[in-house]
Amino acid sequence: MRKLAVILILCALAVASLAARDAAAQCALCAESVAASQDAGGGDIALAFNAGILFLLGFVLFLFAGLIGFIVYVARASTRAAVECPPDGSH
């Protein structure tokens, strides 16, 4: 179970590091777009961008919290099952 968790974490970090370059490029585009819209008097676009960013960050936060909670639940359930049932099969 621990090996699987370590492998999943390393895979997630690898994917995140590969996607970081594309995210940085998008951030520059968004910043220029919002700055241009504010100069033209479009403050609503800036608020929409901020709301979208907060929504996406909240989604990722809850996704990781749920994943960690699930891993803890599975680890505790397997430990509890090992304690309740002795390995020799006698009850």
The residues spanned by each domain of the chain are: 2-84
Q: What is the DSSP string of 3-70?
A: HHHHHHHHHHHHHHHHHHHHHHHHHHHHHHHHHHHHHTT-HHHHHHHHHHHHHHHHHHHHHHHHHHHH
The more confidently predicted of residues 89 and 6 is 6
| Whether the predicted model's global pTM rises above the 0.85 cut | no
Contact call for residues 38 and 48 (beta carbons, < 8 A): no
Per-residue pLDDT for 70 more than 70?
yes
What is the rounded average pLDDT for all residues in the chain? Answer: 76
pLDDT of residue 27: 67
The more confidently predicted of residues 60 and 23 is 60
The tens digit of pLDDT for each residue in 72-81 reads: 898 888 877 6
Per-residue pLDDT for 53 more than 70?
yes
